[in-house]
Amino acid sequence: MVRLWQCLIAGAAAVSANGTFRLQDVPKTICASTGSDKVGYFDFDNNSKHLFFWLAESRDNPSTDPVILWMNGGPGASSVAFGLFGELGPCLIDGPNATKPNPFAWNNHANLIFVDQPVNVGFSYSDDPVKNLEDAMTDMYAFLTSFMENFPKYAHQDFYIMELQTKKDVCNNVLNYCRDKSVSFIQAEHLSPYDFRQTCEDGGLCYQSVEWTEEYLNSSSTREQLGISDDIKFNIVDAELLQNFLDSGDMDADSIAWAEELLNQDYRILVYVGNKDWYCNAAGEKNLVHNLRWKHQSAFQARDSQPFTMDMQEIGIFKQVEGLSFVEIYDAGHMVPADKPQEALFLVESWIQDRLRST
């Protein structure tokens, strides 16, 4: 098993039942604080689809630390661009042609997998665009099963899915695979980059770092170092996918029933929100969590929120009953890890270690 892994990291292609992995090391010139990060593609569906992903191995103990799969929503936003370089990766964007190490990276004590999904988002590509959630789900299922088969080093730890907004069916299906494993879900409400762009044009909220990330990743120098050919388009947000989801009606897919089912099956769910978020406001989120219909709903409703403290400082409030945790972080907007990096890392690690409980 270990040999297979070493074979992969040496750059050899590994064939799984449903696809092939092409991987290379991330150069220090792209991310100075890289440990043994890998980037590359999962080629599948008879080599017609190519999912780009970045594996940020734990800086602590990769073979025992948990594995977190990060998928940006949108739908159609690049996980590498937004999640990794914008919020919680080993490096953050620092100008149009620079990155800086992130001391509060979520891979301090976890293995992180960022997938540009579905195909045609970010550096992922295909001649066969994804039309709906069903397609997206099938592809992510193929990716995950093949990943665990090819990287057995990561197949035995606790596994977390960082799941954003409308992708309930991806999770449903991934669940079939993970049924007997320890899987938990972290849900954050994010500003969709689509909306972000609209507001930006209106002269409102505008994250310059997103423009930098786009420029940085799309540059020929970055492409060359990451082994991405110039003819692969970089879609930081895939507008065609968004349109396809609107056309198929899947934009309205409801993730509430999905969350309720997970909770009833004793999966753990964390929902967090920044209290300065005007777009998905904390009161609305609190209401949503309050109204989830699941087996411990009445206990959850009866419980009062508790102060959430880090180093004796109150950094937010939380409420947890059995598998459901809700956390509101003070003075943070939509992108909590970007606004409050240390607090966000503390939050996710506390939750993973099940230390959120009030005493």
Ligand X SMILES: *[C@@H]1O[C@H](CO)[C@@H](O)[C@H](O)[C@H]1NC(C)=O
Number of H helices, E strands in the chain: 12, 15
Instruction: Name residue 300's amino acid.
Output: F
Q: Answer whether 53's CB lies under 8 Å from 116's CB.
A: yes
3-state secondary structure 182-219: CEEEEEECCCCHHHHHHHHHCCCCCCHHHHHHHHHHHC
How many whole angstroms separate alpha carbon 176 and alpha carbon 298?
Answer: 28
Residue among 141 and 272 whose Cβ is closer to ligand X: 141
Burial class (CB in 10 A: 0-12, 13-18, 19+), 39: buried
Cβ 138 to ligand X shortest distance, Å: 6
Residue among 172 and 219 whose Cβ is closer to ligand X: 219
Cβ 23 to ligand X shortest distance, Å: 18
Crossing angle between the packed helical segments 168-178 and 133-150, to the nearest 10 degrees: 30
Residue among 224 and 314 whose Cβ is closer to ligand X: 224
Give the footprint of ligand X on this chain (CB under 6 A): 16-18, 46, 97, 138, 142, 145-146, 149, 214, 218-219, 221, 234
Cβ 215 to ligand X shortest distance, Å: 7
Token pair 């964390």 in the structure block, residue = 270
Cβ 16 to ligand X shortest distance, Å: 6
Cβ 216 to ligand X shortest distance, Å: 8
Residue among 86 and 333 whose Cβ is closer to ligand X: 86
Residue among 183 and 210 whose Cβ is closer to ligand X: 210
Question: Residue 72 has what DSSP assignment?
Answer: -
Tokens of 2: 């270990």
Residue among 16 and 24 whose Cβ is closer to ligand X: 16
Q: Answer whether 110's CB lies under 8 Å from 104's CB.
A: no
How many whole angstroms separate alpha carbon 91 and alpha carbon 103?
Answer: 9
* Residue ranges with strand state E in 17-90: 19-25, 38-44, 49-56, 67-71
Burial class (CB in 10 A: 0-12, 13-18, 19+), 233: exposed
Cβ 232 to ligand X shortest distance, Å: 10
User: Of 144, 150, 160, whose CA–CA distance to 8 is shortest?
Assistant: 150
Cβ 139 to ligand X shortest distance, Å: 9
Cβ 204 to ligand X shortest distance, Å: 22
Q: Answer whether 149's CB lies under 8 Å from 16's CB.
A: yes
Tokens of 163: 């799941």
Q: Answer whether 54's CB lies under 8 Å from 83's CB.
A: no
Residue among 149 and 261 whose Cβ is closer to ligand X: 149
Cβ 342 to ligand X shortest distance, Å: 29
How many whole angstroms separate alpha carbon 308 and alpha carbon 354?
Answer: 13
Residue among 123 and 234 whose Cβ is closer to ligand X: 234
Residue among 148 and 336 whose Cβ is closer to ligand X: 148
Burial class (CB in 10 A: 0-12, 13-18, 19+), 143: buried
Residue among 124 and 325 whose Cβ is closer to ligand X: 124
Cβ 50 to ligand X shortest distance, Å: 14
